[in-house]
Structure 1
Amino acid sequence: MTAPVLIITGTDTEVGKTITTAAIAAALKSQGQRVLVIKLVQTGVEDGEEGDAQTVAQLAEVDVEECVRLPEPLAPDVAAARAEVELPAVADHAETVAEHASSQSYDIVLVEGSGGLLVHLDQARGTLPDLAMPLEARGIRVGAIVVARAGLGTLNHTALTLEALRIRGVDLVGVVIGSAPASPGLAEETNVEQLSNLADGQLLGAVPEGAGDLDPGTFREHAPGWITL
């Protein structure tokens, strides 16, 4: 049986996407799921340094794969051009994801994007939603989780991201608040209900601010309580 693919994207960069990916992976693993997390393009990390995939592996204790690494903290196509590196086409990434989803080794494959939804992942301006079509053509189910900020400005960014998913025909699994403050202000408090409304009730939860600094065992213990899947 082919494993479904869950695309994890953010409304912007630095919204807590990687830690949320780790929390989702840990929550799924706690349900007995065999989980693989794929990072298509890692930017801003030198060889030998810890990237997003390694962070997820440590926190969630699941299998991970990093496809491309680029040293400068820029959009993938820009970072690749400056490094004189040819990025794989999104269609090639789809082949990689499909191979893992069809391998019978995993019950679900999580694909973490780079930055926001429409960041260019290759030199042909391919984006994360472009990954969905070739996968679905193979009969692989694809859905998306959007990681959003907690504070002011998140409603507009989230609405734009959800609209882009709808236009491109990618099913929304839900929205997660990526870094919820322990002492929320007025905007953070009222945004919980508003984000749920934007997602048609599919607000899956919130990852607490600073969760990535927890001991991995503590992280895995608490992650299922942060996100409902």
Structure 2
Amino acid sequence: MATNRAPPSEQEMKTRIITHMNTQHSRELSHYLRHYAGLSARAATASPAIQDMNLAGMTIKTRNGSTYNVPFSPPLSSWAEARPRVIAMDVTAREALGISDIYLTEWARPRGFDWIPLGGVVFYYICYAGLPWVAPGSAVWETLRVVFPGGPEWFLWIVRSIFWLVFGIHTVEVYLLDKWKLQKHGVPRFSWVWWKWAGNIFVEGVTTWKRLDSIIAAKRAQKEEKKH
């Protein structure tokens, strides 16, 4: 004979919400800390977890032991309101922080045409690093005299003259990729994924942007399909 189960108690509902948020939504907790508590991105992503929760708000703890109060405004009238409220709070936080709902969690290696600019920049850096070996009388010097227009003197002038231009352009591209793309799509600064994309654009340039944009577009298309 079937028996009716008692509805979950207030404490059980609270525990379920806290467990779910801590195990499935640490990213959202970091958004709360950044927007509602004013933490930096680095501090907010230091293993945030809800320490306690009531109808008035959440107490979120980070790895270093610091705790921050994030209020519900207005307070919840019951635990049934918790799910839509925390979702709405995340939307508000992301919009204020300029963070997309499409998260980039992977890196993609160069493909096809991407290898051409990457190879060109790598070759240039090799040339610059090899300048000490371009000396009169060396095998490299004599080879450049034969194969390089203008000879070794012109080679030396070109490689030296454009170094800071090349270095500066690619450094700025790292900065802009981080600011406009990686931070917007939830890539923690200086994480392994961040370093891969930053390293790519430093030696590859504009094709990195195109490859990253194609990944984001594919993720957005997948998300839209799930809605229908």
Shared fold, TM over 0.5: no
* Greater helix fraction, Structure 1 or Structure 2: 2
Name which structure has the greater RCO, CA cutoff 8 Å, separation 6+: 1
* Greater strand fraction, Structure 1 or Structure 2: 1
Taking structure 2 as the reference length, what is the TM-score of the superposition? 0.22
